[in-house]
Amino acid sequence: MAAAAIGLAIGVAIQKSSARSQAKTIIEEAQQESEMIKQKKLLEAREEELQIKAEAEKQANQRLTKIQAAEARIKQRELQLNQQQGDIARRRNENEAIKANLDAQAQVLESQKTELDKLTRTAQETLEHISGLSADEAKEKLIESLRDEAKTAAASYINDIMDEAKLTANKEAKRIV
């Protein structure tokens, strides 16, 4: 019996050792499997992280492109506005120069007109003094003189027509006779 008990104890010990060995193998396989699952999940997480990062970079690049395009449009518009402002300032300066020139010419014309009026008055006073007549009297005499001249010219024209008519009448009378 003792041998059976020893055999049983050895059998139990071998079974325990075998069970421990199997348990150890199962634990090692489970650990390896968990490590593989862990590695697989880490890889999937990294891939997902890369995809999220790539998508975020893509969206950021798209936004950056839109912002750059908007900035370019704003700069272009700013350049156009600056050019328009320059054109407006140049035109304003040209208009002011033209206005100043016209004002100067107007002043010159005004002074010339004043000078001409002065000379006209002086000439009229001199003529009145020389002729001994006022401007109104001189006008009346001039009108009377022109009337007389017109009458004389008209009378002369009438006499010429009458002389011509007499000549024509004499020729016609001679022809008839």
SS (H, E, C) 49-86: HHHHHHHHHHHHHHHHHHHHHHHHHHHHHHHHHHHHHH
Looking at the fold, whether 138 and 102 belong to one and the same domain comes out as no
Q: Could you tell me if 26 and 14 lie in one domain?
A: yes
pLDDT digit string (tens) for 68-109? 999 999 999 999 999 999 999 999 999 999 999 999 999 999
Residues 95 and 80 in one domain: yes
pLDDT tens-place string over residues 13-22: 777 777 788 8
**Which of 95, 115, 132 is the endpoint of a domain?**
132
Residues 59 and 86 in one domain: yes
Least confident residue range of 53-57, 130-134, 140-144, 163-167: 130-134
Same domain, 125 and 51: yes
Mind listing the pLDDT tens digit for each residue in 123-155?
A: 888 877 787 777 787 788 888 888 988 889 988
Report the sign of the C-alpha dihedral through residues 109, 111, 117, 119, in that order. negative
- Number of domains comprising the chain: 2
Which amino acid does the sequence have at 57?
A: E
- Domain enclosing residue 107, as ranges: 2-132
pLDDT at 133: 74
Same domain, yes or no: 35 and 82: yes
Q: What is the pLDDT of residue 94?
A: 95
Angle, vertex CA 162, rays to CA 156 and CA 165, nearest 5: 145
Same domain flag for 95 and 162? no
pTM of the model: 0.40
**Domain final position from 132, 149, 167:** 132
On whether both 84 and 115 belong to a single domain, the answer is yes
Structure tokens at 104: 């100067």
Q: In this structure, are 164 and 118 located in the same domain?
A: no
Q: What kind and span of H or E run contains 1?
A: none
Q: How many residues does the chain have?
A: 177
